[in-house]
Structure 1
């Protein structure tokens, strides 16, 4: 079954793959802080409605075309997104590697900040070379 698009803007989309199951945030371009948070917030609300610690879903961030993540959005990810996502059962974010240096720096910063936030919450970040590999990684993480 193909991924289902549940939100779409020129800068990014939110998709669902129920075969994993996972939410996929797919970035098409740079998003300012307001747009970045709006897309992530939409995806997070969907995730919270469908995932639970007893029946967790995965999360895939397809950041191949993403630009930088503004500082305000990075702070929101740590203070709001991560705690809410882990409360809903998320234990690992599977990230498709960025093709731009700005996206690479942004995702590395997110992974480092998330690792430093322990023991507030336990959330790992794993990097993959393709969307299919990231989905397989999310599926594997859910099986543990």
Structure 2
């Protein structure tokens, strides 16, 4: 009898407001779970820290997806969305990230910011971005694209 063994999700990094970066080896993917509002410095340092973790996990697994879970987030400043698009994306792509699943809440401001991010990302970088309303749909998509 082959029972499926669930692999634990590991917390790799967190900032003071509770926003965390977790690793799920079943994807494999990193899950950025945004909580509340992050000041620009926290937002950017969180994403800066993720670059080394992306490189590490790509070396270990050969592939990696990213889930940006904004369901518990409050807002992202326009300047930070622009910074992520123009700065973080190229570094994340160079580190080996190819797919980003955005989980968008009902919160209008985050939905608009994530929409701007998605449109710009698709035009400039090699990261494929797709929006979802729940984490399970994001995982299904990432499993499909990472295993093809």
**1:88-135 C-alpha deviation (Å, 9 max, x unpaired):** 322221111223111101110100111232xxx322211122212212
Q: Which position in structure 1 is the counterpart of 2:19?
A: 12
**TM value normalised by structure 2:** 0.84
SS of equivalent residue, structure 1 residue 66: strand
**1:44-99 C-alpha deviation (Å, 9 max, x unpaired):** 220122215x9111111111122332233223212221112212322221111223
Matched, 1:71 2:78: yes
Native 8 Å contact 1:25 1:43 kept in 2: no
Native 8 Å contact 1:12 1:28 kept in 2: yes
Q: Count how many residue pairs are aligned between Structure 1 and Structure 2.
A: 140
Give the Cα separation in 2 of the matches to 1:140 and 1:39. Answer: 27
Q: Which position in structure 2 is the counterpart of 1:129?
A: 133
SS of equivalent residue, structure 1 residue 26: strand
Ranges in structure 2 where 5+ consecutive residues have no aligned partner: 1-6
**TM value normalised by structure 1:** 0.86
1:45 to 48, 52, 65: 52
Residue 17 of structure 1, CA deviation: 0.2
- CA RMSD of the aligned region, Å? 1.8
Residue 11 of structure 1, CA deviation: 4.3
Native 8 Å contact 2:36 2:75 kept in 1: no
Give the Cα separation in 2 of the matches to 1:95 and 1:141. Answer: 15
Q: Which has the higher contact order (CA 8 A, sep 6+)?
A: 1
Segments of 4+ moved more than 4 angstroms: none
SS of equivalent residue, structure 1 residue 50: helix
Matched, 1:105 2:112: yes
Ranges in structure 1 where 5+ consecutive residues have no aligned partner: none
SS of equivalent residue, structure 1 residue 6: strand
